[in-house]
Amino acid sequence: MFTPKTLPTDNVLLHENPRSAEALFALVAEHVASGEAVLAARIRERLKRRHLWRSVNLGNGFALPHAAVPGLSTLRAVYVRSAAPIDMGLERGPAVSDSLTLLIPSPGLSAEHDLLMALTQSLLTPSTARALRAARSEAEVQQLLSESPPRWRAYAAPVSGSALGAMV
């Protein structure tokens, strides 16, 4: 699903402690922007706006924050496993312990939308949650998320209409 360029192992953060959705977005923004303050602010603002528009919490302890970000030249992904569950501040599902953030060059393309749909379906399956949570290293997470199709993906599990609606 992801190439090492899109999700390098240094974009897999397994021991972080964001305490809120905003703190998660700030962590991702600072990590991706690598010191570029304007880009970091743009990423934070776009993720926050998207989250406020419609929840990015998929349930099952997973979130899929995503946003189209002007100034990005390529699709970027960041996987975060928090030390403590994050209250995303919305009604959907339990607190989040794992998130996969997608940052899409603006304007977003239909290929990125298709990727979002496939990720939502995958992250909603219990086998996905088990496989990602069992991964003990950045390289293991990267390997699981780079498989196409992922060996842990359960195609039989349908995606609910509300989860699909939360994507767009």
Q: How far is residue 97's CA from residue 102's CA, in Å, rounded to a whole number?
A: 17
Residue 86: strand pairing partners? 96
- What is the residue extent of each domain of the chain? 9-165
pLDDT tens, position by position, 4-33: 788 899 999 999 999 888 999 999 999 999
- Cα 22 to the chain's mean position, in Å? 14
Share of the chain above pLDDT 90, in %: 26
133's tokens: 């949570």
Q: Which residue in 36, 105, 22 sits closest to 65, CA to CA?
A: 22
**pTM, entire model:** 0.76
Q: Looking at residues 32-37, what average pLDDT do you find?
A: 91
| Residues 72/106, Cβ–Cβ less than 8 Å | yes
The full DSSP string for 73-119 is -S-EEEEEEEEEEEB-SSSSSS-EEEEEEEEEESSP-HHHHHHHHHH
pLDDT tens, position by position, 85-122: 888 765 656 788 999 998 988 776 655 666 666 777 77
Residues 6+ apart with CB under 8 A from 165: 54
Q: How far is residue 9's CA from residue 140's CA, in Å, rounded to a whole number?
A: 9
Per CATH, the architecture of 9-165 is what?
3-Layer(aba) Sandwich (3.40)
